Structure 1
Amino acid sequence: MKPTLLILAAGMASRYGSMKQIDGFGPNGETIIDYSIYDAINAGFGKVVFIIKEEFVENFKAIFEPKLNGRIETDYVFQNFDLKQFGIEEEIYREKPWGTAHAILSARKVVKEPFCVINADDYYGYDAFKKMVDFLSDESSESNFSIIGYEVGKTLSEFGAVSRGVCKVDASGNLEEIVERTKVYPKDDKIFYEEDGEEFPLSFDTPVSMNFWGFTPAVFKITEKLFVEFALANKDKPKAEFFIPLIGENLVKSGEATFKVVPTSNKWFGVTYKEDKPYVQDSINQLVKNGTYPEKLWN
């Protein structure tokens, strides 16, 4: 059974100013999602599931179905605020969605095979998808999951400091913890993170998470239990978000599961602000020029 690609595309993109998930970056208007799906198909994924807002479904279908029809199976699920589906009767006011780990639960009824989760607005590269397929096919289990570890030096922005989930890895290559460093930046050909006004060095190849996770369906039951606990504990915090690293942190600390940190040498790039767009466009054009992708992605 081929694994499934789950794409997180329900975000509001408030900082970007428009729906960056379907903005064009390639030479023929290709989205970043297009490149991820192209790599996923070539790596051996059998289905793609989009997590979106219900009001965007026709828009997404119009963009992606003509390209993907006959190439890979597609499905669409919706992230919503309904808590009764999790047995929570209490009305809890929200100012924003519940976060990426809650979004995964939206797919629990349609994903029955090993799967990976990615962001819609991040470019990951073929190597990461191939290594994830190999892990999901050969090593994943109900208690053995994975995360793609990018070299921090290949994930930085020229537009300022970034937040990165720095991974601590044990001798077996498994995740011990993820520490969120909110100010990571290059300086004088070195890399630093800042904490409490102090600078600390990071080696170029320190593994960081870019939200590329591998799971089996066993994670849905675990996540649902954790989400109910989180929602009730944060009912008075309308901006609190239930993120995927919270699943990893909980399972690693409890010993319920292991997360293999799968290294990749791919360069990551993504788009958060409008100012990022020319850089992303140039990066994709370079990949087209060097033959990584055809100029027309879907012929």
Structure 2
Amino acid sequence: MQPSLLIMAAGMASRYGSLKQMDQFGPSGETILEYAVYDAIQAGFGKVVFVIRKSIEDTFKEHFNKKFAHKIQVEYVCQELDMLPEPIPVTPERVKPWGTGQAVWVAGAKIQEPFAVINGDDFYGRQAFQVVADYLRKVDSSSNNYCLVGYKLANTLSEHGYVSRGVCEIDEKGNMAGLAERTKIGKSTDGSRVVYVEDDGKEFPLTGNETVSMNLMGFTPTIFEHCRRLFVQFLKEQGQELKSEFYIPKVVNTLIQEGKAQMKVLSTSEKWFGVTYPADKPVVIEQLARLEKEGVYPKNLWE
């Protein structure tokens, strides 16, 4: 069975300032998510499912349908604020959807096979897609055996500000024992080391060799019911908050702590890059141009 790729592309990109899912970075104007689709095809994925917002649906489809036609099966699902698993009262002042956990849950209508999930504005590298595809082709689709591609922290940092990373705790069997969310990781005040910063401004040192999650995870369809259950719980507890988010790493962490799932950590030497800040764009363009010159990618992905 060919696995599917779920691409979360409904984010509002508040720090970037524009719709970065559609922004051009490649030598022939490719978006970052086009490289993900290209790598997924090479790795043997059979379908890609985009989670988008209704407000960008027509523009998104017009831009991408012709590029992916006859190359891979494409499906779309919209993520909206009012898409809830139960009629639970929530704050009427809220504007944004409920986060990556909701994005995965709404995609359940389009996915019946093992699948990988990624962010639509991150570059992951071909070898990362290959290792997760190899795992998903072998997994029992009715099991709660999931996986995560772990990156070396030093290979995931931005030169232009703090990043948010899930730092993995791995047991002796290579499974995730826990995921510590660090929302402010970057250079120390003097620029000499990598640190994470607490809300009070206190810095804690990191080595840079820590294994971190970039939200490249592999699941079986059993995750959808888990997401539903935990989304209901989240809404009952935090549905009146304006900015609370239901994150997929939180779902994974909860399932591990409950003993209801296990997540194998797969390693990759790939270097992540992405566009958290506008100043990241020239760096991404330069990186993709270098990979094209090295022959990793053709100058035009779809010719």
TM-score tier by shorter-chain length is over 0.9
Q: Any idea what the Cα deviations from partners look like across 1:151-184, whole Å, max 9, x if unmatched?
A: 0010111113322111110111111111122332
2:220, 2:242 → 1: CA distance? 30
Q: Any idea what the Cα deviations from partners look like across 1:187-233, whole Å, max 9, x if unmatched?
A: 66643333455443323331101111110111101110100110111
Asked if 2 retains the 8 angstrom alpha-carbon contact of 1:140 and 1:215, the reply is: no
2:6, 2:113 → 1: CA distance? 11
Identity of aligned residues (%): 48
Structure 2 counterparts to residues 249-288 of structure 1, below 5 A: 249-288=253-292
The alignment status of 1:6 with 2:6, answered yes or no, reads: yes
1:19, 1:185 → 2: CA distance? 24
The alignment status of 1:156 with 2:160, answered yes or no, reads: no
Q: Which amino acid aligns with 2:23?
A: D
Unaligned runs of 5+ in 2: none
1:163, 1:87 → 2: CA distance? 30
Q: Which of 183, 189, 194 pairs up with 1:191?
A: 194
SS at match of 1:106: helix
SS at match of 1:86: coil
Unaligned runs of 5+ in 1: none
Q: Which of 252, 256, 259 pairs up with 1:248?
A: 252
The worse-fitting range, judged by mean Cα deviation, of 91-100 and 45-54 is 91-100
2:161, 2:16 → 1: CA distance? 16
1:189, 1:268 → 2: CA distance? 21
Q: 1:177 maps to what in 2?
A: 178
The worse-fitting range, judged by mean Cα deviation, of 92-101 and 208-217 is 92-101
Asked if 1 retains the 8 angstrom alpha-carbon contact of 2:165 and 2:185, the reply is: yes
Q: Which amino acid aligns with 1:165?
A: G
The alignment status of 1:81 with 2:81, answered yes or no, reads: yes
Give the alignment's TM-score, normalised by structure 1: 0.95
1:182, 1:226 → 2: CA distance? 22
1:6, 1:107 → 2: CA distance? 8
Give the alignment's TM-score, normalised by structure 2: 0.94
**Distance of aligned partners of 1:56 and 1:28 in 2 relative to their CA distance in 1, 3 Å threshold:** same
Q: Which of 289, 294, 298 pairs up with 2:293?
A: 289
Q: 1:124 maps to what in 2?
A: 124
Q: Any idea what the Cα deviations from partners look like across 1:224-271, whole Å, max 9, x if unmatched?
A: 010011011112212110001111111010000001111110000000
SS at match of 1:248: helix
Q: 2:38 maps to what in 1?
A: 38
Asked if 2 retains the 8 angstrom alpha-carbon contact of 1:88 and 1:228, the reply is: no
Structure 2 counterparts to residues 169-248 of structure 1, below 5 A: 169-186=170-187, 190-195=193-198, 197-248=201-252
Asked if 2 retains the 8 angstrom alpha-carbon contact of 1:9 and 1:50, the reply is: yes
SS at match of 1:71: coil
Q: 2:111 maps to what in 1?
A: 111
2:70, 2:40 → 1: CA distance? 15
Asked if 1 retains the 8 angstrom alpha-carbon contact of 2:81 and 2:95, the reply is: no
SS at match of 1:14: coil
1:201, 1:232 → 2: CA distance? 36
Give 1:99 deviation, angstroms.
Answer: 0.5
Cα RMSD of the aligned pairs, angstroms, is 1.6
**Distance of aligned partners of 1:90 and 1:185 in 2 relative to their CA distance in 1, 3 Å threshold:** closer
Asked if 1 retains the 8 angstrom alpha-carbon contact of 2:81 and 2:96, the reply is: no
1:286, 1:171 → 2: CA distance? 38
Asked if 2 retains the 8 angstrom alpha-carbon contact of 1:156 and 1:186, the reply is: no
Q: Any idea what the Cα deviations from partners look like across 1:74-115, whole Å, max 9, x if unmatched?
A: 0100001225x5222535422311001001111111100001
